[in-house]
Structures are given as C-alpha cells and as structure tokens.
Amino acid sequence: MCGIVGAVSSRNIVPVLVQGLQRLEYRGYDSCGVAIHRAAVVGGAVAPAGVGLQRARSTARVAELQTQVTQDQLAAGTGIAHTRWATHGAPAVHNAHPHFSHGPGADAASRPARVALVHNGIIENHDELRAELQAKGYVFDSQTDTEVIAHLVDALYDGDIFQAVRTARSRLHGAYAIAVFHKDEPQRMVGARQGSPLIMGVGEGGGEHFLASDAMALAGVTDQIVYLAEGDVVDVQLGRYWIEDTNGQTLTPAQRPVKTVQAHSGAAELGPYRHYMQKEIFEQPRAFGDTLEGIEGIAPELFDGQGEQPAAAWRVFKEIDNVLILACGTSYYSGCTAKYWLEEIAGIPTQVEVASEYRYRTSVPNPKTLVVTISQSGETADTLAALRHAQSLGMQHTLTICNVATSAMVRECALAYITRAGVEIGVASTKAFTTQLAGLFLLTLALAQAKGRLSADDEARHLKAMRHLPVALQAVLALEPQLIQWAEQFAQKDNALFLGRGLHYPIALEGALKLKEISYIHAEAYPAGELKHGPLALVTSAMPVVVVAPNDALLEKLKSNMQEVRARGGVLYVLADADSHISASEGIHVIRLPEHYGTLSPILHVVPLQLLAYHTALAKGTDVDKPRNLAKSVTVE
Ligand code: G6P
C-alpha cells in the first residue's frame, strides 16, 4: 500500500512532507524517505544549473527520518516523500522510496540523479520491464517494482516529464499511484493513478500544489482537494496544474472539481492512554453514542447515498431480495455477525464473502442483490475491486458501511452509512468494528421495516437497547483489571483457541484475529460444535481456550463443548454474561459481563477480547499500534 505525499511550492516544503508522512504511517511503516529538488529554492526562484536531487531514507519510523532531514539540512520548494509497506524487496534502505534513476550505464551512480519517484501499488509486469531496461544499460539498486518505473520514465524523458509519465503509463500493468519529478524541471511534479488512491491539494492562493494518498496527509496545509480518477495524470507546477484523463483528454475544473474537505489530522492526543489501541477501545461508548446521535427512529433515509451516483434507500430496499456483504479483515467479521441479524430479523438471505476471493471467482449475479461493502478506511483495494466486480456483473444496488465520508467507497456506492468512530490510528481495528456493528444493526432494522417485518414495538425495543449500549459498554470496560490477569497467563503461551456459537462465532474469530495480529500468538477460532471434528486434537493443558458464552439458545450445547475441552486438560477462559450461570472452578476461569444483552450481545462480548489482546501484547512488549508486517489501510491487493 504505502503513503505518498509531494509538493511544488515557493516555501520550504520539507516540514509539510515529513508531517504528511507521519499522518500516512497507517498505510505502512517498513521504511520511509523524502527527496527534494535542491534547485527549487525557497522563495520560488530556481538555482543555477547543476544543483540537483537529494534524498534521505530510513528503515526506522518517520521521527528518525526527521532527525536525518534536519542533520542533512534538506530544504527546497519541490519534494516527494513516501512511507512503505514492503511488497517487492525486504524493508531495507536500498528498497526504500523515493527511488532515483541516474540514467543508463555501469557508471550511472556516479552521475547526478535525474528522476525521483515514489509509488504506491504493484507493477505486475516489472520483471519484463526490468529486463528491457537492463538491456538498455540501466543498473538496478533495489529489488522493488518501483525502481522499474523510475528508469522507465528516465528512458522516455525528452525534456517534458508529463509526456514521459504519460507514455510510461501505457507500459505499466497493475496498480499504481506515483509522484515523480525530473532534475531538469525543478518546479514541476507529475502524478498518475491507476488502482491506487491519489489526490491533489491546492494550496493558499492557488500558488502551491500537493499530491497525496489522502486528504488527511494535507490536514492543516490545505482543505482544497481534487480527487483524481482512475487513469488520470496530473501536471503540478507553481501556480498552475492540469489533469488529463485516461484517454489523454484535458479535463475542465467542472470534471475534476476542487472540493473543500475537512480532513482530521489524525494527530489525536493519547491523553492518559499508553497506546492508540487502548484509547480507541475506551472510546467505544462515545463512538457508539455518536453513531446513534440524531437517530429518532428507523428510516431508510439513514442510508441515502452520498456518492457520485446517489440513490434513495427506500426504493432500493423495496426492490432487493437478498444481501451480499463484501469486506476484508475485521470488517469481514462484522459482516459475518450481521448475517445472523439480517436473516433472523429482516428475513433476507445473506451471503458474506471475503472481498479478495469474491473478485476472482465465478459467481451467479442477481440484480436484486443489495451489495454491502464494509470498510473502516473506504480505500481497501480488494473491497473496492470486489465492489466494482459486482457492479460489472450488473448489480447496481450498492451500499457501504464506512468510517471515512470522503473515501472512494462512499463515492462509488449508491447508498452509504457513515459510522462515527472518529479517526482510528491503531492498526488493530476496535472502535471501527463496534460502530460497523451499530450501522449493520440499523441496516437490519431498516430492511426489516421495508419488508414489513418490523413492528413499532420491535423498533422501539431495539432502539432502546441500542441507546443503552454506551452504558453497558462502559461496564464491560470496567472489567479491564480481570483481563490484565488473564493476559499475564496468555503472554506465556504460543497458541490459543477461541470458541463461539451462532452470533458469537464471528466474535470468536475477531478475538483470535486481535490476539494474533498484535501479540503474535497463534490463535484460531472455531464454531464450538466443530471442536470434535479436528481442533480437539490440539487441546492439552498448554492450550488456553477462550469461550464466548452469553446466555443464548446455544448455551447448553456450548457447555457440553466446554466439558470436551476440560476432559482433555484444556484450560477454559469463559466470557459469560449475567445470565450464563457458569462458575469458576479448577481449569475454568470466568469473567462475567454485567448484563445479558441478547441480540446485541456481540457488541459487548468483543470488548473483553480486544482488551485481552491488548494486554497480552503489552505483556509481551510488542509494538501494539504498529504490529510487524501489517498496515492500517491496505491499498494493494
Ligand atoms: C487491514 C487492517 C485491518 C482491517 C482491514 C480491512 O488489514 O489492518 O484492521 O480490518 O485492513 O480494512 P478496512 O479499512 O477495509 O476496514
């Protein structure tokens, strides 16, 4: 995925680039770097010929890059910067962006760099292009697919960087957003996007211009944003810019309007918390309350479209006869939970698919399907591609549950529900998940209403239960000291098993995901009835088994499954609720959630699992907010 930021200005742009990188670290943090054109001197003038490109790169975090930049006294009006999530080539300095091209020849490295380039995405034909460029004498310094683009642009350059990028674009297969400049054009930068996000920012007075992966990178710098479309190439200069579409047509301002976007800086204060994840877990009562604010009753209008081709939800809800949910990661598990609600309460057949699988399999399209994408970021490449795939199959009724109102997902879906979790910084998703569940429960009720399955009494009862949830969540958060005790034991383990049944099976899946992604303990989740069909073979006294056990229709069956574990010496960690009637005894640890919450109980039961993962990671000393190898927003497939 990676994050990109670039600028052409008459002021020193390096602080803006470094700050932008800090805000883009959620897209990856394996390495980072910045390159400037030293001829674009501060004040808007151009230095005499001979002053060239300079860069600083680091495999540490952006804070370390800042130190390097200060030591090297990097300052210029033109620059690009990048934070990386490694796809091709290990996270090492020589693979860090920006990549330079010094031109062809074995001695090229001794000559000044000619092209500086940053890239987000994957170039699928990089091997073929590398061979071609090597045959022309280009020497490669990295294992990245990105360096191929830098050399390709250099090979095609004939005095006009815009033309070179335009031509290079036709040779690239795969996904990319790039920002690039050339040594001979100090006050010019070119951007292009295909399959990866890129926006342009117009600075004060229209004099300076920016490129970035998202508007958040430019928060506080400019709120005047142009969303580039697939295939766009943008020429960014001091005081002017123009955009061409994929067919080479110059676009008018009406075709790519400048929008005022209030992006959060993301630089939220930690307050009394040690990590963003902990803060975000504790923000859930507030986030849930905000998500419900202003909702007086259930109405399809809550889901009316906000995108490029908005639709009226009531009309769509009347027409559809099934739901297809597409999502990745934690968002996928919120979809799995919603399936139970949609089928039980709204009586609508529902499928949930991992977006990266759906987009490549042959499925049977049904135009009466409501395609629901769920995404915190609204930029996940696989989910966006799955949405577009569904649309290409003739399914035009699309809805997204999304946390970012300005995202591609919201723009591309006919209907939307914006969760109000606020900016989520910790890579492990927490408050986004519970607010997605809030949105999905409201969707269930709205669909039930459209299908004549929601009485006024039921509506009032469900809304009352939802409104009480912030208080109930607070009571669950108060269980933290007990979860710290469990976490101390989990931190000694190599494996863990999570069990749930029905509505709480997806919660067990989410609990296992949380534990593995931040504490690196191998964790798997099973519907408890499946235990005897395989995973029971793993159960010994060294295997902690977490059981999500509220009092529901399957509780007695779950208790039998727990006996199966105890009989093999497995140690149980049970999350019961006020009505579960499970007591602690030898080999059975119990934490009792204060209330019994019925249909909405997944929203409460996931919280102790988040706390368990958090405190286990803390006990193990891992990087909680930035776990190894992961990223917050995954904009490559
Ligand atoms: C990444 C994140 C996960 C997230 C998933 C889907 O893998 O680390 O926390 O659940 O992407 O992201 P989305 O923004 O589409 O919800």
Q: How many angstroms separate the CA atoms of 512 and 493, rounded? A: 14
Q: How many angstroms separate the CA atoms of 216 and 23, rounded? A: 7
Is residue 97 within 8 Å of residue 68, measured between CB atoms?
A: no
Q: How many angstroms separate the CA atoms of 390 and 358, rounded? A: 9
> Residue type at 53?
L
Per-residue pLDDT at 157 exceeds 90? yes
CA of 421 to the centre of ligand 1 (A): 14
Q: 202 pairs with which residues across the strands?
A: 209
Q: Are residues 446 and 400 in the same domain?
A: yes
Q: How many angstroms separate the CA atoms of 12 and 3, rounded? A: 21
Q: How confident is the model at residue 333 (pLDDT cuts 50, 70, 90)?
A: very high
CA of 429 to the centre of ligand 1 (A): 7
Q: Residue with the nearest Cα to atom 5 of ligand 1?
A: 329
Q: What is the pLDDT of residue 17?
A: 97
CATH value at residue 253: 3.60.20.10
Reduced to 3 states, what is the DSSP secondary structure of residue 628?
coil
Tokens of 544: 């902690």
Reduced to 3 states, what is the DSSP secondary structure of residue 573?
strand
Q: Are residues 534 and 413 in the same domain?
A: no
Per-residue pLDDT at 552 exceeds 90? no
Per-residue pLDDT at 637 exceeds 80? no
Residue partners of 20: CB distance under 8 A and separation at least 6: 3, 5, 81, 212, 217, 218, 221
CA of 437 to the centre of ligand 1 (A): 15
251 in any annotated domain = yes
Reduced to 3 states, what is the DSSP secondary structure of residue 389?
helix
Q: Ligand 1 pocket test: pick from 424, 632, 636 the residue with the most ligand atoms within 8 Å of its Cβ.
A: 632
170 in any annotated domain = yes
CA of 55 to the centre of ligand 1 (A): 31
CA of 330 to the centre of ligand 1 (A): 6
352 in any annotated domain = yes
**Surface-to-core class of residue 313, CB atoms within 10 Å of its CB (0-12 exposed, 13-18 middle, 19+ buried):** buried
Is residue 562 within 8 Å of residue 587, measured between CB atoms?
A: no
Q: What is the pLDDT of residues 598-634, one digit of tens each?
A: 999 999 999 999 999 999 999 999 999 999 988 887 8
- Ligand 1 atom closest to Cα of residue 428: 9
559 in any annotated domain = yes
Per-residue pLDDT at 266 exceeds 60? no
Structural domain of 455: 276-476
Q: Are residues 242 and 326 in the same domain?
A: no
Residue partners of 628: CB distance under 8 A and separation at least 6: 520, 622
Backbone φ, ψ for residue 17 (5° rounding): -65, -45
User: Between residues 261 and 210, which one has the greater pLDDT?
Assistant: 210
631 in any annotated domain = no
- Ligand 1 atom closest to Cα of residue 327: 15
Nearest alpha carbon to residue 548 among 524, 576, 525: 576
Q: What is the pLDDT of residues 462-482, one digit of tens each?
A: 999 999 999 999 999 999 999
Q: How confident is the model at residue 20 (pLDDT cuts 50, 70, 90)?
A: very high
Q: Are residues 545 and 496 in the same domain?
A: yes
Q: Ligand 1 pocket test: pick from 2, 380, 406, 424 the residue with the most ligand atoms within 8 Å of its Cβ.
A: 380
Strands 115-123 and 174-182: antiparallel
Q: What is the pLDDT of residues 37-67, one digit of tens each?
A: 998 888 888 877 767 999 999 998 898 999 9
Q: Residue with the nearest Cα to atom 4 of ligand 1?
A: 329
547: left (phi over 0), alpha (psi -120 to 50) or beta: beta
CA distances to 48, 323, 385, 418 from 305, rounded to whole Å, are: 53, 17, 19, 10
- Ligand 1 atom closest to Cα of residue 432: 16
Q: Are residues 118 and 185 in the same domain?
A: yes
Q: Residue with the nearest Cα to atom 8 of ligand 1?
A: 632
Lowest mean pLDDT among 24-28, 72-76, 406-410, 509-513: 24-28
Q: Which element (helix H / strand E) includes 614?
A: helix 601-620
- Ligand 1 atom closest to Cα of residue 631: 8
- Ligand 1 atom closest to Cα of residue 329: 10
Query: Averaged over 364-378, what is the pLDDT?
Result: 97
Is residue 190 within 8 Å of residue 236, measured between CB atoms?
A: yes
Q: Ligand 1 pocket test: pick from 330, 430, 636, 637 the residue with the most ligand atoms within 8 Å of its Cβ.
A: 330
- Of the chain, the percentage scoring pLDDT greater than 90 comes to 77
Q: What is the pLDDT of residues 91-136, one digit of tens each?
A: 899 999 999 999 999 899 899 999 999 999 989 999 999 999 999 9
Q: Residue with the nearest Cα to atom 3 of ligand 1?
A: 329
CATH value at residue 508: 3.40.50.10490
Q: Domain boundary at 461, 476, 491, which?
A: 476
424-425-430 Cα angle (round to 5)? 50
CA of 489 to the centre of ligand 1 (A): 28
Entry pTM: 0.82
Q: Are residues 359 and 495 in the same domain?
A: no
Residue partners of 131: CB distance under 8 A and separation at least 6: none
Q: Are residues 259 and 354 in the same domain?
A: no
607 in any annotated domain = yes
Q: Are residues 226 and 294 in the same domain?
A: no
Per-residue pLDDT at 81 exceeds 60? yes
For 220-244, the DSSP string reads TT--EEEEPPTT-EEEEETTEEEEE
Per-residue pLDDT at 452 exceeds 90? yes
**Angle at which helices 456-477 and 601-620 cross, to 10°:** 20
Q: Look over the chain and give the mean of its residue pLDDT values, rounded to a whole number.
A: 93
Q: Are residues 262 and 320 in the same domain?
A: no
User: Between residues 312 and 602, which one has the greater pLDDT?
Assistant: 602
Q: How many angstroms separate the CA atoms of 174 and 374, rounded? A: 24
CA of 635 to the centre of ligand 1 (A): 10
Is residue 100 within 8 Å of residue 33, measured between CB atoms?
A: no
Q: What is the pLDDT of residues 337-352, one digit of tens each?
A: 999 999 999 999 999 9
58: left (phi over 0), alpha (psi -120 to 50) or beta: beta
Nearest alpha carbon to residue 190 among 168, 206, 214, 171: 168
Per-residue pLDDT at 238 exceeds 90? yes
Pocket of ligand 1 (CB under 6 A): 328-331, 375-377, 380, 383, 427, 429, 630, 632-634
Q: Are residues 234 and 314 in the same domain?
A: no
Q: What is the pLDDT of residue 492?
A: 96
355-356-360 Cα angle (round to 5)? 105
Nearest alpha carbon to residue 458 among 438, 433, 441, 479: 441
213 in any annotated domain = yes
Q: How confident is the model at residue 262 (pLDDT cuts 50, 70, 90)?
A: confident
575 in any annotated domain = yes
Q: How many angstroms separate the CA atoms of 559 and 548, rounded? A: 11
The b-or-e profile of 375-384 (16+ CB within 10 A means b, else e) is bbbbbbbbbb
Q: Ligand 1 pocket test: pick from 359, 429, 440 the residue with the most ligand atoms within 8 Å of its Cβ.
A: 429
Q: What is the pLDDT of residues 503-537, one digit of tens each?
A: 999 999 999 999 999 999 999 999 988 988 998 89
CA of 581 to the centre of ligand 1 (A): 36
Q: What is the pLDDT of residues 563-597, one digit of tens each?
A: 889 988 999 999 999 888 888 988 999 999 998 88
> Residue type at 342?
L
The count of structural domains within the chain is: 3
What count of residues does the chain have? Answer: 637
Q: Domain boundary at 221, 240, 268, which?
A: 268
For 297-355, the DSSP string reads S--GGGG---SSS---HHHHHHH--EEEEEE-HHHHHHHHHHHHHIIIII---EEEEEH
Q: What is the pLDDT of residues 410-448, one digit of tens each?
A: 999 999 999 999 889 899 999 999 999 999 999 999 999
Is residue 244 within 8 Å of residue 233, measured between CB atoms?
A: yes
Q: How many angstroms separate the CA atoms of 494 and 487, rounded? A: 13
Lowest mean pLDDT among 12-16, 316-320, 556-560, 617-621: 556-560
3-state SS string for 191-210: EEEEECCCEEEECHHHCCEE
Q: Residue with the nearest Cα to atom 15 of ligand 1?
A: 375
Query: Averaged over 158-166, what is the pLDDT?
Result: 97
CA distances to 119, 254, 280, 550, 596 from 581, rounded to whole Å, are: 56, 64, 31, 9, 11
Q: What is the pLDDT of residue 399?
A: 98
Q: Are residues 125 and 51 in the same domain?
A: yes
Q: Are residues 46 and 99 in the same domain?
A: yes
Reduced to 3 states, what is the DSSP secondary structure of residue 245?
coil
Strands 199-202 and 115-123: unpaired
Residues classed as catalytic: 2, 632
Q: What is the pLDDT of residue 69?
A: 93
Q: How many angstroms separate the CA atoms of 194 and 230, rounded? A: 5
Q: How confident is the model at residue 1 (pLDDT cuts 50, 70, 90)?
A: low
Q: Domain boundary at 432, 457, 476, which?
A: 476
